[in-house]
Chain A
Amino acid sequence: MGLPDILFYIFAALTLLCGLLVVANPFSRSPVTSAMFLVLTIISLAGLFVLLNAFFLAAVQVIVYAGAVMVLFVFVIMLLDLKEEERRHIKAFGFVTGVVSVGIILSVFLKSIGSTAKLALPAAANASTAGESDTHALGMLLFTKYTLPFEVISVLLLVAMIGVITLSKKDLK
C-alpha cells in the first residue's frame, strides 16, 4: 500500500466522518458548527480529487464551495442569528421519503461504480500523463463535446438567479 492509498483512506474517512457530523453531531446542535463541518467535508473531497490527479477540479471545489458558497452560508446563519436547534421528532413521512431517496442515490452510485470498474485499469495508466494539462482537456471538452449541457446548466443558474431576485423583492413595479 503506497502513500496515495493511505491518503485516500484518510481523506475518505474524513469526508464520511465530517459529513456525518454535519447532520448528526452529538456534541453540538449549533448551525455554525454544522456549516464548519460541511466546509471540512468539502476540503477533504478536494483532497480526493487531488489523489485522482484532477487538480483543477480540486482547486475549483475549494474556491467555489469552501471559499464562496459556505462563506455565504455562514454569513446568513450569523445574520439570522439562529439559535441552537432543538432535537426534532422524526415524522413517518419524512423518514419514508428519506429512505427512498437515499436508496435511489445508492442504486445510481452502485450502477456507476459497476460500469467504471472495467475502465479503471486504462484510466490509471493514463493518469500520470493526463494530470499534465487536465485544465486544458477539461476546457476543450466543455466547449466542444459538452457545449449544450454546459449552456443549459448556465441558463438554469440564470433562471435561479432571476427567481431569487423576484422573490426577494417585495413590491415589483
Chain B
Amino acid sequence: MNWNFIIFSLVKLAVIVGVVQGLVAYSVLAERKISAWIQDRVGPNRTAPPFMKYVPVIGPFLTRLGMFQPLADGLKFLLKEDFTPAGVRKIYFWLAPALAVIPAMLTVAVIPFGSNLGAQKMVMADLNVGILYTFGIVSLGVYGIVLAGYAANSKYPFLGGIRSSAQMISYELSMGMSVIPVLMIVGNLNLSAIIGWQSTHGWLVFFSPLSFFIFLVASFAETNRLPFDLPEAETELVGGYHTEYSSMKFALFFLAEYSNMVSSAAMMVTLFFGGWTLPFWGLDQPATSLLLGVAHILVFMVKMLAFMVLFIWVRWMFPRFRYDQLMDLGWRRFLPLALFNILVTAIWMWLTAK
C-alpha cells in the first residue's frame, strides 16, 4: 500500500468536494443576483448574521452582495420538515435524491483542474478513458430524475420523469457524437492528453467550432437548464419531478443540478478551451513552481466561472422550448449536424495528412 498516494488522494478529494459544494452554493446566489440584474431588480441584499452590522464598510458591502444568503438557504433546507407524502413508493422516494447527486459529484473526478503542485498532479484520477468515464457517469444521472418521478406516484412528477428520460437520452447522443471530432483530432481519450495537445496546437474550439456549439446546447439539455427545462417546467408541471419533495431531499436535486452545471462547464473548458493552459505568459506548460501551479488552478477556475455565468445568463434570456420542438431539434437538427461534422473533420484530416 502506498500511503503517500492514499493521503494525497484523500486531501484532493476533500478539497474538490468542498470547492464544488461551495461553487454550487454560490452559483445559486449568482443565479439570483444575475436574474435580478437582468430583470432590473436588486436580488438578495439583507441576509446577514447579527454581528455583521458592527463590521465597518465590509459588513454592509458583503450583506448587499448577498454573501450570506447561501448559508441561510442551506440552514433553512436542513431545518425544514422532511415530509414524506402518503402514497409514495418509499424506497425509491429515498433513493432518488441520492441517485441524482452521486453521479453529479463523481464526474469531476477525471477533470484536470490544474497542472501540478509540487509532485502532485492536480487531477483525482487520470484515466485513459477519461471522456468515456464522464459520459458513462452522466448517463447514470438520469435515473435519479426518472425514479423521483416514478416514486412520487402522482401525475406531474411522473410526466416530468418521463420527459426527462426521453430528453436526456436524445441529447446524450448528440453530445457523444459532437465530441468524436475532438477525439479524432487529438487521437486520445485521456483528458490530460487533450489539454496537452491544445497547449501545443491551440484551443480545440478553433479547430471544431461546430462540435463546441453542439456540445454546449446538449449540455444545457443534459443539465435540464432553461431552454430545455421540460422535466421541471413550473408553468406546466408544478415542480416537475421534484414536486412531492421537501426539505433536504429537495435540496439534493438542486445540488445535483448545479453540480452538473459545474462539471459540464469544466468539461467544456477542458475539451474546447485548453483546460488550465493559457497561450501566453508561459502558462502553457506544466508548472515548475508552486506559484505557477496555483496560477494554473486559477486560470481553470476563471474559465469555468465564465461558463457558469453563461449558463445562468441563458436561463434568463430565452423562453422554454415546446416538447416537440425539443425532440425535433435533438433528432432532426443536431444529430445529422453532428454526423456531418464527423465526416467533415475526417475529410479535413485526410486532406491535411499528406
Chain A positions near chain B (C-beta within 8 angstroms):
32, 36, 39, 43, 46, 55-56, 59-60, 62-63, 66-68, 71-72, 74-75, 78-79, 131-135
Contact = CB atoms under 8 A, between A and B. Distances in A.
B162 A75 contact: yes
B189 interface: yes
- Main SS class of interface, B: helix
A20 B147 CA distance: 22
Contacts of A59: 129, 132-133, 135-136
B253 interface: no
Nearest to A3: B1
Contact of B128 (A39, A55, A68, A78): A55
A18 B228 CA distance: 35
A46 B137 CA distance: 12
A67 B176 CA distance: 12
A63 B132 contact: yes
B132 A78 contact: no
Given A78-B158, A78-B161, A55 B127 contact: yes
17 contacts: A32-B92, A55-B132, A56-B129, A59-B129, A59-B132, A59-B133, A59-B135, A66-B139, A67-B172, A68-B139, A68-B169, A74-B165, A75-B165, A78-B149, A78-B150, A78-B165, A132-B128
A46 B136 CA distance: 11
Given A74-B165, A75-B162, A75-B169, 6 more contacts: A59-B133, A67-B138, A71-B142, A71-B146, A78-B165, A79-B162
- Main SS class of interface, A: helix
Nearest to A75: B165
Contacts of B129: 55-56, 59, 135
Contacts of B304: none
Given A59-B132, A62-B140, A71 B189 contact: no
Contacts of B172: 67-68
A32 B137 CA distance: 21
Contacts of B26: none
B313 interface: no
A71 B150 contact: no
A74 B146 contact: yes
A32 B161 CA distance: 13
Contact of B143 (A39, A63, A132): A39
A92 to B, nearest CB: 36
Contacts of A66: 136, 139-140
Contacts of B169: 68, 71-72, 75
Contacts of A79: 162
A67 B137 CA distance: 8
B256 interface: no
Contacts of B143: 36, 39, 71, 74
B1 to A, nearest CB: 9
A71 B168 CA distance: 10
B166 interface: yes
A131 B128 contact: yes
Contact of A78 (B139, B142, B162, B189): B162
A128 to B, nearest CB: 13
A84 B111 CA distance: 43
A46 B132 CA distance: 13
A72 B167 CA distance: 11
Closest 9 CB pairs of A and B: A67-B139, A59-B132, A62-B136, A75-B165, A55-B129, A63-B136, A59-B129, A59-B136, A63-B135
A75 B128 contact: no
Nearest to B161: A78
Contacts of A75: 146, 162, 165-166, 169
A66 B189 CA distance: 21
Interface in B151-197: 158, 161-162, 165-166, 168-169, 172, 176, 189
Contacts of A68: 139, 169, 172
